[in-house]
Amino acid sequence: MVERWIEPAGLLHGPVALQAVRDGHALPLAGGPAAFPLARLIEEGRDLGIHPVAELPGDGWEALLPPLTRRPLPFAGLPNDRPLVMGILNTTPDSFSNGGQHLDPRAAIAAGHAMLEAGADILDIGGESTRPGAPPVGPEEEMARVLPVVRELAKAAVVSVDTRHPATMRAALDAGAEIINDVTALRQEPASIRVVQEARAPVVLMHMPVLDPRRMQQETNYADVVLEVARFLRQRVETAEALGIPRGRIAIDPGLGFGKTGAQNLLLMQRLPLLAGIGCRILVGASRKCFIGQVTGVEEAAGRLAGSLAVAQAAASAGASILRVHDVAETVQALRMWRACTDGAAAELG
């Protein structure tokens, strides 16, 4: 089977995008509100050039348009008409951003409630740091860290558990979590797919070139990082679907910072709309990451708020529908203002 991709280009927003779609000069990206008047065609890794969407060739290319243009199904029963904010809650002593701050379950639970009050749609709770070079944590210790927090916050929120261990997945789902967020895209152990399938749980599949986070920054030699990440994610989605996890319950994450250089992270952001062709919701987790510090010159992770907000807005503009962030209140405000400016949302003035 010939590998083909349609990569949206020249994105439009607001009333101009709506008018271009009505006039047949553009197509909606993942159901809108962004639209694309141009598309790069890629076949077997070869760039076939940029074409107006009104003049795309036949010969099967049109079959790639429906997953690219229609709105993905609601994820975990949450709204699909705006970007969702996923608040990061690490119950670890060695997180790159706030290691140890939420190791005490009471502190983590309080922080989770504060994120909900600030507007978080999802709380993502993790008990193992997967930053570059981080030592592994066994499922027993991981469960001891996350389960008390999951059990309490699941009473008030949609909870995601950030884990690559099937035992933790199963226990967290039993404790009330609704979403599995796996940095290994369900590759760590064969049982992972079975846990998700049997629980009928939504899942986030992320790109990471190797299973061991300690080695991932040694694996950054890509011919085309964007195409290789897209290819990996499409294959993982197809595998999960074949094993009983429907595409509507899958979100995909390009894995910024996981086995990528700073320049490669920026390329993934610039060409993020390519991933929409997989037909799943796109999650972007860039908050406070090293590449933001490289661009802005801010060494301390906690000082990268402005850069993180800029990336969140750029991701939302390019079709991301879930943003995984540390700074929930600020991100919610930035997204609300961005939507008001780009879509002319009069409701924001009420």
Along the 350 residues of the chain, how does pLDDT read in single tens digits? 899 999 999 999 999 999 999 999 999 999 988 999 999 999 999 999 999 999 999 889 999 999 999 998 889 999 988 999 999 999 987 555 555 577 788 999 999 999 999 999 999 999 998 877 778 899 999 999 999 999 999 999 999 999 999 999 999 999 999 999 999 999 999 999 999 999 999 999 999 988 777 777 877 899 999 999 999 999 999 999 999 999 999 999 999 999 999 999 999 999 999 999 999 999 999 999 999 999 999 999 999 999 999 999 999 999 999 999 999 999 999 999 999 988 764 343 33
- Same domain, yes or no: 41 and 97: no
Residue 71 lies in a domain: no
Does residue 306 fall inside a structural domain?
Answer: yes
Note whether 196 and 252 are same-domain residues.
yes
Q: Catalytic residue positions?
A: 289, 324
Residue 170 lies in a domain: yes
Q: Is the domain of 37 the same as that of 141?
A: no
pTM flag (> 0.85) = yes
Please indicate, yes or no, whether residues 164 and 212 belong to a single structural domain of this protein: yes
- Do 198 and 294 fall within a single domain? yes
Q: What is the number of structural domains in the chain?
A: 2
279 shares a domain with 162? yes
Q: How many whole angstroms separate alpha carbon 268 and alpha carbon 34? A: 18
Residue 78 lies in a domain: no
Domain shared by 133 and 247, yes or no: yes
**179 & 304 share domain:** yes
Q: What CATH number has the domain bearing residue 305?
A: 3.20.20.20
d(CA 116, CA 251): 21
Instruction: In whole angstroms, give the CA distance from residue 324 to residue 339.
Output: 18
The gap from C-alpha 23 to its chain's centroid, in whole angstroms, comes to 32
69 part of a folded domain? no
Q: Are 158 and 19 within one domain?
A: no
Residues whose CB falls within 8 Å of the CB of residue 348, separated by 6 or more in sequence, listed in order = 336, 337, 339, 340
- Domain housing 40: 4-60
